[in-house]
Each structure stands twice: as structure tokens, then as C-alpha cells.
């Protein structure tokens, strides 16, 4: 794109947004034909907004153009993203202090201890994999942003509660900081395959030190898909429309790890699986290769019981109600809990 065109884009965007708004106002059916709602209690206004959303033909292009203005002039995205340096994006959830977060951290630590007790009754060990925030691990890419001290205090309160209750918890910051290269994706909330594999190695080492006799019960071979561009989940907060590739942050490159698991008798079928992983999209999404990495490090099969978009605590409640637990409890459950969920409201 030529420089003169880029220079006039913000002005064009503003004119388009204002002009589109005027067109939408003039031709909105709710304005021309009353929806029969009373105006004094706000019902008419709500009906008008709904009709405007349905009939405003240039709404999406206007959103894209306004996104260009925010990004080009101010280097900012929509609410939900924190823009760091050199194309690094962070979820705003890692910077937000939720009301009652400290108390919620303590309550959830007690809940984890209850789960550990419940599992122990059936001969299952629990290991909490406590995943630090991307903003903490990649703090050198935050630019002028900082995680508020009140937010940073929530995680330690949770871990302190776990340790006081005798919960086996492994803090994973050291593993992620040891990665050569990036432990997290630039434009995504999640870790890189290298970060996921480093965490899998630390967890496996911890399990082996505990003397688990099921380690090595299978043969696991790792593979890797072809590398390709990855549009991170945080790019949705920077809507640049057709100019995304020209103006937006560079895309990450991702090669998804895969695992083939075999026992002495061939591919594993209905054989008992000794390990289950419960958690979030860090585990559930196969693109990062976390469960594949665990299988390789433990040379054992691993059941992926994580859930996407629900948080680690809801995921555990669902697992405990599932036949995978009630009918065939594993020897070990690894509960992946990201830091940002600890104080978050459900």
C-alpha cells in the first residue's frame, strides 16, 4: 500500500463511520415506523438499537474502519486486548482485578483440596499444573503495561492455600522461562508447542520422581505437522478487515505436534488409560501439542478430558460427573489451572 493512501485512511474511516451512521439513522425502520414501544422507560430505544443492528448495511465495514483508526493512530485494539511491543498481544483478563478475587482464590484452593481427597478415596493421585500468565512469563514484551499489584497477588494466595492443604501443585513458570525462543504465541492467548512441551517435561519429571509404576507402559512416537501461519485468538480485538495482513501484527507460525501411542499388542484400544488431563483450551486444543508431549515424556497414554471455553473449575466438575471418572478412574489426574482463571468470576 502506498504511503499517501495510508495517511488518508484515518480521515476516510471517520467520514465513513459518521456518514454510515447518518444513513442508518435516516433509513432505520424503527425511526420511520414506531415499533409500538413506550419511550419513557427505554423500551423504544432498545427496539431502535436492535433494528439498527439488523438494517445498518455498512455496520461491519465501519467496524473495520474504526479498528484501523484505533490501531493506526493509537496502537490500540478493542476492549479485551492489551497491545505490547513488537506485535505482542495479551488478553486483558490477565490485567483485570475481579471483585472478591482474593476470597475466590481461597475458596477455590479449598475446592481443589476437596477434589484431591475425593480422588484419593478411589486410588487416584491429583497433580495441579499451575500455569502462569502470559503477561508474567513474557513481561519483557509488555511495553509500558504492567500487571497491577492487586492482580499479581491473587495467584500466590491460591498456591499458598493449595500448599497449606497438602495439594500436590507444580508451578510451571520455570519450565516456560527455560524455553529457547517464545513460550507463548505472539497473537494468541495460548502457549507455543515448545512451551507446552517444556511444561510436559517438567510434569513428567515430577511424576517419575514420585515413583509411578505405570510410566513407560506404552510406546509413543511424536510427529509434527507442516508449519503454517496461525491467526491468534487475540486478533479478533484488532478488526482491520481487508487490511489485516498489511497493517496488523505479523501472524505466528505454528507446527502442530502429533503422537502415536502403541502398547505391546499394537495400537491402544480399550486398555485402561493411566493418566487424565483436566483443564482448559491449553490442554484441549491439539494444536499446541500439550497432551501429545505428555504422552511422549511419560511413554504412556493420556486421556484428554479438558474443556474449551469453560474454565478449569467447571471442567473438573464435568469430569467428575463423566463416565471416564465414575467408571474408570485413572492412576493420576493432572489438573491444568491457568493463573488468570483463579480470581475470575464464573
346 pLDDT above the threshold of 80: no
15 pLDDT above the threshold of 70: no
Question: Helix 193-209 to helix 290-298 angle, to the nearest 10 degrees?
Answer: 40
CA distance 241 to 237: 12
281 catalytically annotated? yes
pTM reported for the whole predicted model: 0.81
190 catalytically annotated? yes
Binning pLDDT at 50, 70 and 90, where does residue 27 land? very low
34 catalytically annotated? no
Q: Give the single-character DSSP code of 41.
A: T
Task: Give me the helices (H) in 28-167, please.
Answer: 29-32, 43-55, 59-74, 101-120, 134-137, 149-152, 154-164
259 pLDDT above the threshold of 60: yes
At a CB cut-off of 8 Å and minimum separation 6, what does 267 contact? 260, 261
Least confident interval from 12-21, 76-85, 184-193, 207-216: 12-21
Active-site annotation holder among 30, 62, 281, 283: 281
Active-site annotation holder among 186, 190, 252, 283: 190
Paired sense of beta strands 228-230 and 219-224, if any: unpaired
Active-site annotation holder among 188, 230, 252, 283: 188
Distances (CA, A) of 295 to 267, 312, 331: 14, 21, 14
Q: What mean pLDDT do residues 147-170 have? A: 97
DSSP secondary structure string for all residues of 46-58: HHHHHHHHHH-TT
Calculate the CA 86 to chain-centre distance. Answer: 21
Q: What is the pLDDT of residues 94-145, one digit of tens each?
A: 999 999 999 999 999 999 999 999 999 999 999 999 999 999 999 999 999 9
Amino acid at each position: 500500500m502506498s504511503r499517501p493512501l495510508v495517511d488518508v485512511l484515518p480521515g476516510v474511516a471517520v467520514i465513513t463511520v459518521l456518514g454510515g451512521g447518518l444513513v442508518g439513522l435516516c433509513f432505520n425502520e424503527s425511526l420511520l415506523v414506531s415499533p409500538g414501544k413506550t419511550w419513557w422507560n427505554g423500551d423504544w430505544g432498545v427496539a431502535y438499537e436492535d433494528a439498527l443492528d439488523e438494517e445498518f448495511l455498512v455496520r461491519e465495514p465501519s467496524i473495520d474502519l474504526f479498528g484501523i483508526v484505533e490501531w493506526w493512530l493509537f496502537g490500540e485494539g478493542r476492549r479485551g486486548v492489551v497491545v505490547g511491543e513488537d506485535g505482542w498481544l495479551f488478553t486483558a483478563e490477565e490485567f483485570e482485578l475481579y471483585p472478591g478475587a482474593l476470597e475466590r482464590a481461597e475458596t477455590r484452593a479449598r475446592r481443589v483440596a476437596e477434589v484431591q481427597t475425593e480422588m484419593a478415596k478411589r486410588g487416584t493421585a491429583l497433580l495441579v499444573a499451575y500455569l502462569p500468565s502470559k503477561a508474567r512469563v513474557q513481561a519483557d514484551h509488555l511495553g509500558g503495561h504492567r500487571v497491577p499489584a492487586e492482580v499479581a497477588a491473587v495467584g500466590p494466595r491460591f498456591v499458598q492455600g493449595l500448599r497449606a492443604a497438602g495439594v500436590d501443585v507444580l508451578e510451571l513458570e520455570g519450565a516456560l522461562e527455560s524455553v529457547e525462543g517464545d513460550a507463548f504465541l505472539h497473537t494468541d492467548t495460548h502457549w507455543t508447542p515448545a512451551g507446552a512441551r517444556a511444561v510436559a517435561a517438567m510434569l513428567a519429571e515430577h511424576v517419575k520422581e514420585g515413583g509411578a509404576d505405570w510410566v513407560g507402559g506404552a510406546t509413543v512416537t511424536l510427529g509434527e505437522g507442516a508449519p503454517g501461519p496461525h491467526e491468534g485468538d487475540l486478533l479478533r480485538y484488532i478488526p482491520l478487515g481487508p487490511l489485516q495482513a498489511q497493517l496488523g501484527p505479523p501472524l505466528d507460525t505454528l507446527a502442530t505436534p502429533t503422537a502415536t501411542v502403541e502398547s505391546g499388542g499394537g495400537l491402544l484400544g480399550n486398555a485402561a488409560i493411566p493418566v487424565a488431563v483436566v483443564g482448559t483450551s491449553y490442554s484441549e486444543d491439539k494444536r499446541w501439542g500439550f497432551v501429545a508431549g505428555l504422552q511422549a515424556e511419560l511413554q504412556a497414554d493420556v486421556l484428554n478430558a479438558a474443556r474449551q471455553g469453560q474454565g478449569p473449575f467447571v471442567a473438573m466438575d464435568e469430569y467428575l460427573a463423566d463416565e471416564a471418572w465414575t467408571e474408570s478412574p485413572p492412576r493420576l489426574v493432572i489438573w491444568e489451572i491457568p493463573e488468570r482463571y483463579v480470581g475470575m468470576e464464573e
